[in-house]
Amino acid sequence: MSMRIPRALTIAGLDSGGGAGITADLKTFHALGVYGMVALTAVTAQNTLGVKAVQEIDPLVVENQINTVAEDIGVDAAKTGMLSSSQIMEAAARAVRRWGFQLVVDPVMYAKSGDPLIRPEAMETLRRVIIPISKVVTPNAPEASHLAGFRVETLDDAKRAAKFIAEELHPEIVIVKGGHLTGNESIDIVYFRDSGEYRELRAPRIDTKNTHGTGCSFSAAIAAGLAKGLSPWDAIKLAKEFITTAIKYSLPLGHGHGPVNPMAWLELRAYRADVIDELNKALRIIEDNADLIGNYIPEVQSNLGYALPAFYARDLNDIAAVPGRIIKYMGKAKPSGPPAFGVSSHVANYILTAMRHDPEVRSAMNIKYDDKVIETARKLGYVVSSYDRRQEPPEVKAREGASIPWGTEQAIKNAGRVPDVIYHLGDWGKEPVIIILGRNPTEVVSKLLAILRRINENRF
């Protein structure tokens, strides 16, 4: 029995800036594990500031593209984006009706810059020809306003518009997206024509101007979900989570509206797996040297942390470490469990602060303070720096979680760079500590072992 490969088609235009259109769609398909195909409808000269020129593709060529991939490779679901003329819409509709695959319609009317992407006379064709053959249509508030004939400014407006579009234009499901509405949340209104049911999809509103390609990737994600055999509602929920991630990690490119980042969905999963794998490798080295390292476990215990790459490392949840820390058991260093994300605030704060100065320094481990460790580290050529917790300003002490970032900043300032080793001599109720930093956990543990082995050599 052959493995089924989900197949999705985008019927849309090319954004030369790479942020929207078929480029965004194909990235979305790929990130969600779907084989992507293209029926190109137009070529645009476009960047983050606007659309400079448009060249439409011959409608018969558009239709032929759809037929050609459908008759050989097959199409499980498709989406439309930029359909700029009535002739292109009618050609696309003929092919969609011929093959009968599920269709998601993103009723693209304007680029993020406000430049028009549809001819005025094609608006009626969009309403009469394209939307009625769709399973899902995904207008934003301005597009819903055009389709419904009244301004959509509130959630109640969005509900009324969704119902109007469903009943008058006959798509199965209407999603009026909440990105253009106000409020702390982005709330999408989903209306199911057959049942008359409303549902809401909520996500925190992300403060960024880099939202170019949002509608393209959202609709492509729905099509990808349908191609994989998900129910329409499950595909829509997946798409909401997907686009929220793409916006959160959007790309600050260009001088206008930068693009969302569809690949974040895939990259985050790959990087998280890599971080855990690298930590496990380093923890095995610690276990292989448990006797030696066990002598340097502090009263607060040790931990070894590793952050996602700098672009994705936003807070403590983006750093993995050992839950329950690395303990001293029967005189030996012993990790108390497998690594996980978001379980450390101590070494994680050192890492986050260091990464602000050197994004490559993504790992750290704390050990017991010992003069010999500091002395030996310097002899080995490591950069060593320190800070004095007694000089910590009262306002920093009063703020939860502020001490380590403050101290790390002081140590980096004193060294003129991110050092290999940071230490402090403690304060009232605070144990002295040494922090070993490096690009990855194996490098951190290797630095530690180099120091400890040299100390041992000097004892004999």
Cα torsion angle, 157, 158, 163, 167, sign: positive
Query: Looking at the structure, do residues 208 and 105 belong to the same domain, yes or no?
Result: yes
1 falls within a domain: no
Q: What is the pLDDT of residue 428?
A: 77
163: annotated active-site residue: no
Domains in the chain, number: 2
Q: Looking at the DSSP assignment, which residues form a beta bridge with residue 363?
A: 306, 438
Q: Quick check: is 316 in a domain? A: yes
The catalytic residue among 23, 80, 211, 353 is 211
Of 229, 260, 291, at which residue does a domain stop? Answer: 260
Tell me which of 202, 237, 260 is where a domain ends. 260
Task: Tell whether the model's pLDDT for residue 80 goes beyond 60.
Answer: yes
Q: Are residues 256 and 272 in the same domain?
A: no
Q: Quick: pLDDT tens for 380-404.
A: 999 999 999 888 898 988 888 899 9
| Any domain includes 29 | yes
- pLDDT tens digits for range 187-230: 999 999 999 999 999 998 898 999 999 999 999 999 999 999 99
Contact 33, 228 (CB under 8 A): yes
| Catalytic, out of 80, 214, 245, 353 | 214
pTM: 0.92
96 with 212, same domain: the answer is yes
Task: Single out the catalytic residue among 178, 179, 215, 438.
Answer: 215
Same structural domain, 299 and 250: no
Q: Are residues 224 and 307 in the same domain?
A: no
Range of the domain at 220: 7-260
| Bridging pattern class, strands 319-321 and 340-341 | antiparallel
Confidence tier at 111 by pLDDT (50, 70, 90): confident
442 included as an active-site residue: no
Confidence of residue 181 (pLDDT cuts 50, 70, 90): confident
Active site residue 214: yes
- Tell whether 81 and 122 lie within a shared domain: yes
pLDDT tens-digit readout, 243-274: 999 999 999 999 999 999 999 999 999 999 99
Encoding tokens for residue 321? 């470490």
Same domain, 275 and 240: no
| Mean pLDDT, residues 353-369 taken together | 98
Residue 23 annotated to the active site? no
Residue 281 among the catalytic residues: no
Residue 2: inside a domain: no
Which of 260, 277, 296 is where one domain is finished? 260
On whether the CB atoms of residues 97 and 129 are closer than 8 A, the answer is no
Same domain, 145 and 286: no
Confidence of residue 123 (pLDDT cuts 50, 70, 90): very high
Tens digits of residue pLDDT in 309-351:
999 999 999 999 999 999 999 999 999 999 999 999 999 999 9
Q: Does position 460 have pLDDT exceeding 60, yes or no?
A: no
CATH at 394: 3.40.225.10
Using the predicted structure, report yes or no on whether residue 125 has a pLDDT greater than 80: yes
The CATH number for 165's domain is 3.40.1190.20
